[in-house]
Structure 1
Amino acid sequence: MPDTIETTARAALAEVLPQSLPPEAIDPDVELDHLGLTSLNKVLFLTSVCDRTQVGLHHFTEHDLAAMRTLGQVVEALSRHAEVR
């Protein structure tokens, strides 16, 4: 997983979590809903991280988005579509 995508995803996720948690403290294998992320906040997170990494949401189907249940899965999915930096 490229560090730039993971770092960007961690920062975007930390911004929408209901509790204050530093980005580096987020376990990439914990399910997003276990972190207290609502459906709306998941959409805000995914939109933000796609914008920041310049990966269009059009690359993902509804099924792809639903399968992104952890930070690690989001980073992996984005990595498949991001340009190498």
Structure 2
Amino acid sequence: MGNYILQYIGDGTPDAQQVHALIHRCELRIVDDSLSPRTILLELAGTDIAKVRPELGTEWSLTPEKEYRVPDTRRKIKKG
């Protein structure tokens, strides 16, 4: 299981009811929908991606979530 970002790339604003109907139809689990309906973080297995992509059409983008390590910017004392 991994997290994927579902993002609307079409013109205008997507219909929230249609978005949730699509998520329910594809049996996806919502992790975070604070930016709904334009961007939703979903959890799905790698095997489900092939099932979901045709349902999305050209107005939606589905990309894997990436994690970045924040660099340590604290100053360090050099012992000499």
Shared fold (TM-score, shorter chain, > 0.5): no
Normalising by structure 1, report the TM-score: 0.32
Greater share of helix = 1
Larger Cα-atom Rg: 2
Higher normalized strand content (fraction of residues): 2
